[in-house]
Structure 1
Amino acid sequence: MYSSGLFLLIFITCQMPGSQSQECVSRQEVQSTLRHVHKLLSAHETSFLQSVRSLRKKLDLLHNNTIKHGSNINAGKNSTPICLPPNPPANGRMLGQVFKVGHEVHFLCNPGFQLSGPETRECLDSLRWSGEEPTCQRIDAGAHNNPTTSIPTSTSPSSPPSVSVRPSRCIEFQDSMHCTCEQGYSISRQDRSLCTDIDECELFRMTQAGRLCLHMCMNTAGSYYCQCPTGYSISKDNRGCQDIDECETAAHNCTKDQVCVNTFGGHRCMVVECPRFRNASYIKTSPLQCERNPCVQGNKACLKAPLSISFHFMSVVSNMSTPRVLFRVSAARVLGDALRFGLLGSRGAGHFTLQRSSRQSGELLLVEPVQGPATLEAEVEMSELERRTLLGRYVTKVTLFVSPYSF
């Protein structure tokens, strides 16, 4: 439209009378001028349209913000009532930005100060905060020496105490708020500005089979650690438990006359004494063995007494799978033509059995699982015969210590 008007104006000007010195421009010059004018007008039109679009976006944004602000005001009037924001303690701070009924805020003190009063306050239906207003009191350097002062030993002026609630890190992206937490924390369901500690011990127990720790899981702020019972040390993976051998490390209280026996989670100090038989006497030939003195000729009661009595102590875990071979009795050499194995008395009845493993050996088996802690005893007898005549008896007294744990 603009180019045609301009062409008409130039054409008319060319034909005006009285312009003796003016010459008409050529057709090519007119077309070149029109193209230049067209480009100029197009550039102006594009710039104008961009300005209009930018202005329209700003107007829309202002309109939306006005609507949001109005809806927030209406929502505040019509939704859950809110409490007045509580005052953070001096030398401390408050965590939480939601003050609706049923929501909580948390209080922390700066390093060198200790919180006095509730750590958490809740907005009640009465639109008042629960509990008293907390304060932060300076920690006295000499307070640890005062027995009447109650200060956690893990708290020091140089490092703030671990807490289960921390502020989240939030950024605004594409008209929405995105909040993240440190490792070991998750966004609070009540207030996205807060991060609450993840109880790994409870989470693992609820979502996966087995246990996070072999014995006991202790939750901490942002993490956890495993604990072992007395008599055990934590393994290299920080999850398992290893028995401490008090006998090997000399961490026992046994006397020289006692035998130190390591058990799972502890130890026993055992006194080994030679038994007494009628018309027979014994002498201790080693810490765990007694041998019979020679019998008087013709003393049949002495000849029936065991030639030797050995003592054997064993430690096992609770509820160990069965059947399980515990102990093997063997003859170094056989003088007679037969060996016979058996259990003496009623000790260990229902828990043990004896089976022949070869011509010269027998095995003591645990046939029933045992729930610890428990102590079981059994006496294994090996008899040597010659044409069914007893040549000698050998007795092994086995004592089994069952741990209260399954590890």
Structure 2
Amino acid sequence: INECTNAVLPCQPGYTCINNIGSYSCKRNVVNCGRGYHLSADGSHCVDVDECVGSQNPCGEGHFCMNFPGSYRCECKTGYYFDSISRTCIDENECRRYPGRLCAHNCENTPGSYYCSCSKGFKLSPDGRNCEDINECEGNPCSQECANVYGSYQCYCRRGYQLSDVDGITCEDIDECALPAGGNICSYRCVNVPGSFQCACPVAGYTLASNVRNCQDIDECITGRHNCSGTETCFNVQGSFRCLIFECPENYRKSGDALRVDSTETVRCIKSCRPADTSCILDPVNTVSYTVISLPTYREFIGPIEIIFLRAASPAFPSVQPEIVFRITEGNTRNSFDVTKRYENTITIGVVRIVKPVIGPFTSTLKLEMDSYLTGQLSHRNIVYVTIYISEYWF
């Protein structure tokens, strides 16, 4: 019986049934698979080997593997080119090949590709190529004012502040009082405050002027800020006041005609002798006057300063023009004053001058004598007492 012809083969797949006398045998089929193939699991046929699958990639970096029946092929990935000499795929530097065409700012090459980057102050647009300006001011980087500029920003400071040289973002207070011109900002004292400055005046006797920089004297006599009695005359001086009483000497009485002196308070006393008082009648002093003047300390003394002008009265129709002599006879202990004579339209004028720097506070009463001579003989004499108040300040 030939078992090999039965409908159900007695041998497993991959084997051939061989009939023997009284029996059969199974012989394994021999299948020769060429390169790129391997025998199927049942050994009946050859199956293609997929070389591209698995960890053993037959292609190097920059390649990708393509399987074919019985073989495979290595091709260059996008961003690589095939070098016929080395027969390898080499990265293509797109940034060098297409300069200025791929990215708006900076092009950075990467293996098989590239990426775009932006300069400082910009950010990459959604398209990955262009750059957009960053508004740094939205993050409030400045201590005061921020102005966005293309690709950057600039910090600014409000008036009275300056930008720090250290970080360029912090605003530092300017000490206006310490500037080279700070000594001239205020007439008395400069007080620095954040972002500005304020001028201050002496505690008493002065107030800040409308320009808020200069100090001006308070006239206590006008404002009523004095304690002078009803018998005293209030005289305003720089930064204060004085209560004065003008009394005529014996044999003199007050005259309603004030002496022509450039001053605020002047009292003129004229001689009034009793009929039998020979010594009074023969006394050459016709008038005794009192006047006061208030002056500041002159900060810059560059020469004589004229402070008082005494005009000598002359007869209406003089037959002989008198010679007037002016002298300071008392009170000029420091020799800080002198008196000179000048003529203006035939009028003789005595000019009292400061000839040396006088630093206040300082008070002095000068006795001025105006002698009138006719034909060389003293005809009469007028005396003027000038009290000078000099403040310690220059304003």
TM-score class, shorter-chain normalisation, is: 0.5 to 0.7
Aligned to 2:288: 309
Distance change (3 Å), C-alpha of 1:60 and 1:374 = same
- Encode CA deviations 1:281-308: one digit per residue, 9 max, x unaligned: 3333457222332145463366326222
Q: Distance in 2 between matches of 1:177 and 1:237?
A: 38
Distance change (3 Å), C-alpha of 1:255 and 1:305 = farther
Paired residue total: 255
Say yes or no: does 1:212 pair with 2:182: no
Say yes or no: does 1:231 pair with 2:205: yes
Output aligned runs, 1:60-139, within 5 Å: 60-61=116-117
Aligned to 2:303: 322
Aligned to 1:267: 241
Distance change (3 Å), C-alpha of 1:62 and 1:363 = closer
Q: Distance in 2 between matches of 1:271 and 1:167?
A: 64
Aligned to 2:336: 351
- Encode CA deviations 1:175-200: one digit per residue, 9 max, x unaligned: 64533332222334455553221212
* 1:224 partner amino acid: F
Aligned to 2:358: 370
In the TM superposition, residue 395 of structure 1 has moved relative to its aligned partner by 0.7
2:328–2:338 contact (8 Å) kept in structure 1: no
1:336–1:385 contact (8 Å) kept in structure 2: no
Aligned to 2:226: 252
Give aligned-pair identity as a percent. 28
Aligned to 1:59: 115
Q: Distance in 1 between matches of 2:155 and 2:296?
A: 49
Q: Distance in 2 between matches of 1:344 and 1:172?
A: 75
2:103–2:116 contact (8 Å) kept in structure 1: no
- Encode CA deviations 1:103-123: one digit per residue, 9 max, x unaligned: xxxxxxxxxxxxxxxxxxxxx
Which secondary structure does the structure 1 equivalent of 2:254 belong to? strand
Which secondary structure does the structure 2 equivalent of 1:399 belong to? strand
Which secondary structure does the structure 1 equivalent of 2:117 belong to? helix
* 1:370 partner amino acid: V
Q: Quick check: which one's helix share is greater?
A: 1
Unaligned runs of 5+ in 2: 1-97, 109-113, 122-139, 257-265
Distance change (3 Å), C-alpha of 1:177 and 1:252 = same
Distance change (3 Å), C-alpha of 1:340 and 1:333 = closer
Which secondary structure does the structure 1 equivalent of 2:222 belong to? coil
Q: Quick check: which one's strand share is greater?
A: 2
Output aligned runs, 1:160-309, within 5 Å: 167-170=143-146, 176=152, 178-205=154-181, 211-229=184-202, 230-275=204-249, 280-285=250-255, 288-297=267-276, 299-300=278-279, 303-304=282-283, 306-309=285-288
In the TM superposition, residue 204 of structure 1 has moved relative to its aligned partner by 4.4
Q: Distance in 2 between matches of 1:344 and 1:63?
A: 85
2:372–2:381 contact (8 Å) kept in structure 1: yes
In the TM superposition, residue 364 of structure 1 has moved relative to its aligned partner by 2.2
1:205–1:211 contact (8 Å) kept in structure 2: yes
* 2:332 partner amino acid: G
Which secondary structure does the structure 2 equivalent of 1:167 belong to? coil
1:215–1:240 contact (8 Å) kept in structure 2: yes
Higher-Rg structure is 2
1:234–1:241 contact (8 Å) kept in structure 2: yes
Which secondary structure does the structure 2 equivalent of 1:312 belong to? strand
Deviates more, 1:171-180 or 1:338-347: 171-180
In the TM superposition, residue 385 of structure 1 has moved relative to its aligned partner by 4.1
- What TM-score do the two structures reach when normalised by structure 2? 0.54
Distance change (3 Å), C-alpha of 1:64 and 1:357 = closer
Q: Distance in 2 between matches of 1:49 and 1:340?
A: 103
* 2:388 partner amino acid: L
